Amino acid sequence: MDNYHVCRLAVAPIRKEPSDKSEIVSQLLLGDRVEVLEKTEKWCLIKTHHDNYEGWMDYKQLQKISDLQFHDEKAFSNLTPFQLDNTLIASNGTKYYLSPGSTLPYFENGFCYVGDERFEVTSKPFIPSKNDFKLNVEQSAKFFENTPYLWGGRTFFGIDCSGFVQIVYKLNGIQIKRDASQQAEQGEIVDFLASALLGDLAFFDNEDGKITHVGLMLSNDKIIHSAGKVRIDPIDDQGIYNAELGKYTHKLRIIKRFV
């Protein structure tokens, strides 16, 4: 079975069940690689290469690639930068508008390739480095400020809390898992909120003790997170305080450091 594929659209939904009515659990961005585990006529069960996330996709939104291409990490290292205009021009002249942090496979001399299809890249791609994490992470996170909250979202047209921190980290050269509960199992524990630094991730739980929310610390008393929209709120030992609502909205559970 030819089970290696790459996303050929700017953004494509990953669903819980093989149906257009099923909830979106995540999204693929252009250039994201997947392994196809199962296939029906229209739908396929996929596992993402970047975070081992499983879900169902419309097979037409994928492009088959070889085993060799799938495992060629260097070919998938260029990303679209922090700007609104990340346009790709297909060979037939039509355009694709990409969100920041999309992957540009086999980028060279102003072109990238998705399978055999060649695209002209109008923006200047970059290869992220975690060496500059502290320098760039705040600016990266603030780029998404006011992006609407969208369950399963990973773009600046709609993003969820864990998708937000995942893409900000990706743009700074760090790969983390997809969901807040999975991300909370990674990184090193920061013992006290007072010790939190720029770029640390704070996790929040519900009444049942399940981790349901994550945000990125801007300092030890300020957090940027996706709740309604990507917003900056004060945080203390109790959790996130929303001044607009005049109440605490998320209960702090744990802080983790990744860099």
Domain residues for 140? 130-257
Q: Given 87, 121, 155, which residue is the final one in a domain?
A: 121
116, 158: one domain = no
Q: Given 97, 121, 145, which residue is the final one in a domain?
A: 121
The pLDDT tens digits for 206-220 are 999 999 999 999 999
| 23 and 15 Cβ atoms separated by less than 8 Å | yes
- The domain that contains 213 carries what CATH number? 3.90.1720.10
Residue 138 to residue 219: CA distance in whole angstroms: 10
Cβ neighbours, 10 Å, residue 208 = 6
Average pLDDT over residues 85-105: 97
163, 86: one domain = no
117, 139: one domain = no
Average pLDDT over residues 3-26: 97
170, 228: one domain = yes
134, 224: one domain = yes
The pLDDT tens digits for 44-67 are 999 999 999 999 999 999 999 999
Q: State the greatest distance between any 2 C-alpha atoms of the chain, in Å, as a whole number.
A: 56
The catalytic site residues sit at: 161, 213, 225
Indicate the Cα dihedral angle 90, 99, 186, 162, nearest 10°: -130
32, 134: one domain = no
60, 148: one domain = no
52, 17: one domain = yes
Q: Given 55, 87, 121, which residue is the final one in a domain?
A: 121
Count of structural domains, the chain:
2
pLDDT value of residue 13: 98
Average pLDDT over residues 220-241: 97
pTM of the prediction?
A: 0.96
159, 194: one domain = yes
146, 253: one domain = yes
pLDDT value of residue 1: 55
| 164 and 143 Cβ atoms separated by less than 8 Å | no
- The mean predicted confidence, pLDDT, of the chain is 96
Alpha-carbon radius of gyration of the chain: 19
135, 117: one domain = no
Q: What is the DSSP letter of 147?
A: P
Average pLDDT over residues 141-166: 97
Find, among 70, 68, 71, 45, the residue nearest to 58 by Cα: 45
The pLDDT tens digits for 109-127 are 999 999 889 999 999 999 9
104, 165: one domain = no
| 205 and 211 Cβ atoms separated by less than 8 Å | yes
What is the percent of the chain where pLDDT is above 90? Answer: 98
- The domain that contains 106 carries what CATH number? 2.30.30.40
